[in-house]
Structure 1
Amino acid sequence: MESQEFAQRGEQVRRIAANVMDITDISDAPQHRAGALRLRGYLQRDPETAYHYIEPRLSNLGYTTLLRQEDDKVSLIALPGRLEAGQSKLWLALLLFALTILSTIFVGGNGLVLVALWLQSGQFVPEAFQLGLGLAFSAAILSILLAHELGHFLMARHLRVAVSYPFFIPMPISPLGTMGAVIAMKAPPPDRRALLSIAIAGPLAGLAVAIPVLVLGLSLSEVQSPPPNQTLLLEGNSLLYAAIKVAVFGRFLPDGGLDVMLHPVAFAGWVGLLVTGLNLIPAGQLDGGHILYALVGPRIASIVTWVIAVVLLGLGLLWPGWFLWAVLILVFGQRRAPLLNELTPLTQRQQLVALLGLIIFVLVFTPAPLTIVEPGL
């Protein structure tokens, strides 16, 4: 009875697929889901046209359609049921955002160096708190991070890809006051084109806010000799950050014993560039990893992920935080968001957009993000 039912289901799927595909074999695919079917063969049409023909027809039969490349053949996988997205907890997203506002006000108002010293020595000076600076830092950094996350969120909604609300992570005992925010995909993107659009929308939106925030903050900052006998938190240079400082101050800094003493708004703008660079690292589940996968496919993206992890291990000599990043990429880097249709390539215009994302990564990547400089060093 079961074999007869399997044959009937297989025949229904085969008839639909045969209109756009030369089928060589049909088999059960329990490794994907109980009752799943796999059809292998060669497409008669381009992947996008074939998928758009098959998907709604199999959906009417109660299947979710996946399109994969297996060696020299195409694999069409029909999963029984539909991939339903769960509900997001709006109240939790709002609560975490409110807590992140408080934590960033706390860090900005206490002074970034004082917070860094607190982390290092455990000594804290609460009377140093300045509410005005805290509010300025919080508004600046959260506007950048919120723009980044809304870029992802709104693009995903536009493409009808189910994603969670942005969940911010408050971290008051840190130089930033937050560990950023995360958005989870609750359903697979339809293809590489959608993956690219969602992945790059966040960094572009965040950068569009970070640059004017940084320019404003630098205009509020002073260029002077570092105060003597005082521990400093030295921010690292990226190519774009160095260029913006040259544009604002007319010189490369630090230079000749002078450096810019960052206003909290300027530091928030710098963090915006840093976060953009971190997210655009072309590896694993990072935005840059999604962009690279959309551009070159799984095989090359997997190789690059391993190379990036090794490079970050080397950069750990400049900043110990890269050791953690390298480990995370090695552990989770080969896991990626599945696509419904993995075969449809990017258009030429989208390839240029993907290359733009990788160029931005080079411009904003900071090899040594933060350094605590002790007096006399």
Structure 2
Amino acid sequence: MAGVSLKCGDCGALLKSVQEAQEHGELTSHFNFSESTEAVLNLVCTDCGKPCRSKTESDLHTKRTGHTEFVDKTSEAAKPINLEAPKTVAESEEAVDASSSSQSEEMVVPEVDKKLLEELELMGFPTARATRALHYSGNTSLEAAVNWVVEHENDPDIDQMPMVPLNSKVEAPKSSLTPEEMKLKAQELRERARKKKEEEEKRMEREKEKERIRVGKELLEAKRIEEENERKRLLALRKAEKEEEKRAREKIRQKLEEDKAERRRRLGLPPEDPAAVKPSSPVVEEKKISLPVRPATKAEQMRECLRSLKQNHKGDDAKVKRAFQTLLTYIGNVAKNPDEEKFRKIRLTNQTFQDRVGALKGGIEFLELCGFEKVEDDEFLFLSRNKVDMAVLNSAGSELNSAINNPFFGVL
């Protein structure tokens, strides 16, 4: 299908003709156009007949006038685009003049001051760059040429030899400086260029430092928020543990009362008079004490891991207790014999380990909190000698003893 529009590669605008593309380029400095089969949108307002070339333009028209009905006449207005730009009479004459002049004129390298050129070459500039700098800076002074190089050092043609028509050759002005003055001037220019480069480097370093400070602040803020969330989670966890212990004590007390009443019934004794029963001391609401919140310790993480293990397997107390005792044996062996590798390496596929610890959710996580790591494609749990921390092992042993001996640990 023939192209029906020109599409701007910079902003995506669709244009009906080459003339519109030229006007778009003059307004936006966009000159990357390609032929497109997508037609320019033509939405005609049914109320006032105004054509709109885009959805944005129709939305603005609706906002200004309140007209909401449009008819899409894009297909009717679409025509193959003519890629030849219209030429004016003046342009045609200029083209003829340019053609005739290009045939008659010969392009040559412009003449520049030889001494200035030598000085620039001594300063390390290539001949083509030095010639271009002298020519476009007016061929007046060494300083002007160096300044031109500094301003145009990123030009793609900076190292191409300039060419001018033969009849436009201008004789270069002669320098009025002595050789000594020229050397001093060149040294001054080199020093000035060096200082300018150092100032630019310092400016870039300051910008980088500001960026580093900004990123550092963002990281600190993110860490603070994370610690705050962790403190809130631990507070909620401690509160839940206290509530759990309170409910467990109440449940045990009720069980004792029921057993006592059952024994009296079996012995043929009358039920205990509720009025004679010594009223239980009222539950004193614990006074809330505001304590500084701290991040979770290793011991608290271990306690939470053991509590989760018991909660996940609350239907089998014997299996949970056996898992706790097995973990205590592993930790005790390492604490007593830290140099023996056989106590610091556990095969995950071992059936005994799987039955006692590995198959229970939370068992392997507890060993990892103690310093064990999975190695050899997750075949072993291994605690390297340099990572054996007796304080961590002692904390693990204390938490396991508490979990085994405390009847209220993870009851609810």
TM norm structure 2: 0.20
Which is bigger in relative contact order (C-alpha 8 A, separation at least 6)? 1
Give the structure with higher Rg (CA). Answer: 2
TM norm structure 1: 0.21
